[in-house]
Chain A
């Protein structure tokens, strides 16, 4: 068998798997943002017609999976794996979604870096010959995540300007060994980085070094530079984390990332939407990737994309106990 591993952390696919379809469902605030008319479904109801925010999130993810299969004309019976991830304890949203489909289920947790991790694993299963069609799905909900990680939704407080807001929505994509669409050409799975950050309101600072580590590792492993890509887009560093990443790249690696570096957490909202430094959550990168960027990749205005989804791997308990926030970043390169 031909070895597909490149360098320390990268896998380069010999027959790059194809993202044949994607479906996005965006929450109320996201629908009012700059990408509002690019989502497949925009909902103005945070409860999504359900009895709780948790059920709303699960229903969104279930709908996203159903709709992407309808879009591509595939039946759940012929899907080899469902790979899903969310932010709630025991990834309960993914578990409930998976219970609605007759598809073998891989539940994953890697906080907000889930979109690239799930896609990377799907691509490895397909290029390895273990599957021909895999659905990946991620979701997050502002109200269900806030209660778990921070305070009740209606609790009144002032947030610091570098804080971020969890995005609401769900997204699903079908990745397959044949069909039309942009291809996942390689993936670089990240290592867990400890920065000593303890402030759960400052996720950008906790995650920026992990993003840098994975980006540089990707370039080293397959001998590329930042110029290779039209766009390098991080998952949810926010304004402050984005600035830190550029500064770290310049100061530590003598690498200029400014020209083609963007962040999904910044792209998802307008400045006046009250989200402070930007969005976060599993679905933050998925909503941007599978709406705007996916369209651009299909149309050709974008040819080479590196998605570096970032995740803060803390728990509410570890934060209350004053422990540092471990963080990670996973990269996938998507090319036409």
Chain B
């Protein structure tokens, strides 16, 4: 537990903790239900679109199911990147929230937005150093989690 200190202004006779409690009580609330619903619907739509792509790739182009799902993921990543480059992804995301952030669209957005942001600093110090600035955490903890889960599953079997 961190120590509670008074606010260093004689005009506010509250401790820092009391002030933060006052702030929390008064601050405008995020409408969680609306955000969850929007994420559920938009995320679900993206996944349905992915399924549609898999069907098209396997039925129309004759790819195996594995190949078709890889191609579908690549397509969705491409669309996420394209929408980021066109400057509309962030506008859709402010509505859809996690619905757009959790699927690979969010991953594509985090990398392309970083690349766009840092391209002025050049290929090495800009794009190269910053491309995984936001996505790095997803990759690291994704790989670590996959490894641990894989290990547990192989031990249990």
Closest Cβ–Cβ distance, residue A333 to chain B (whole Å): 19
- Say whether A158 contacts B35, CB under 8 Å: yes
Residues of B within 8 A of A239 (CB): 28
CA distance A154 to B5 in the complex (A): 39
Residues of A within 8 A of B90 (CB): 153-157
Q: Give 7 nearest A-B pairs by CB, closest first.
A: A156-B93, A196-B16, A152-B117, A152-B113, A154-B113, A213-B9, A155-B113
| Other 5 A-B pairs with CB < 8 A, given A193-B8, A194-B5 | A154-B85, A202-B23, A205-B27, A213-B10, A244-B23
- Say whether A158 contacts B94, CB under 8 Å: yes
Interface residues of B (CB under 8 A from A): 5, 7-14, 16-17, 19-20, 22-23, 26-30, 35, 84-85, 87, 89-90, 92-94, 97, 100-101, 106, 109-110, 112-114, 116-118, 120, 134
CA distance A193 to B9 in the complex (A): 7
- Say whether A156 contacts B101, CB under 8 Å: yes
A73 beta carbon closer than 8 Å to chain B: no
CB closest chain-A residue, reference B91:
A156
Provide the A263-306 mask, 1 if CB < 8 A to any CB of B, else 0. 00000000000100100000000000000000000000000000
Give the total number of A-B pairs whose CB atoms are below 8 A apart.
118
CA distance A153 to B88 in the complex (A): 11
A23 beta carbon closer than 8 Å to chain B: no
Dominant SS among interface residues on chain A: loop
A252 beta carbon closer than 8 Å to chain B: yes
CB closest chain-A residue, reference B16:
A196
Max chain A Cβ within 10 angstroms of own Cβ: one of B22, B28, B30 = B28
- Say whether B12 contacts A154, CB under 8 Å: no
CA distance A160 to B134 in the complex (A): 20
10 contacts between A and B (CB under 8 A): A153-B116, A154-B117, A156-B106, A162-B28, A194-B7, A197-B20, A202-B27, A205-B23, A212-B12, A213-B10
Residues of A within 8 A of B134 (CB): 151-152, 155
Residues of B within 8 A of A158 (CB): 35, 93-94, 97
- Say whether A155 contacts B35, CB under 8 Å: no
Residues of A within 8 A of B118 (CB): 152
Closest Cβ–Cβ distance, residue A284 to chain B (whole Å): 20
Given contacts A154-B84, A216-B11, A252-B11, contact A247 B92 (CB under 8 A): no
- Say whether A194 contacts B26, CB under 8 Å: no
Provide the A197-209 mask, 1 if CB < 8 A to any CB of B, else 0. 1000010010001
CB closest chain-B residue, reference A193:
B9
Segment 137-178 of A: residues with Cβ below 8 Å from B: 147, 151-162
- Say whether B27 contacts A240, CB under 8 Å: yes
Residues of B within 8 A of A252 (CB): 11-14
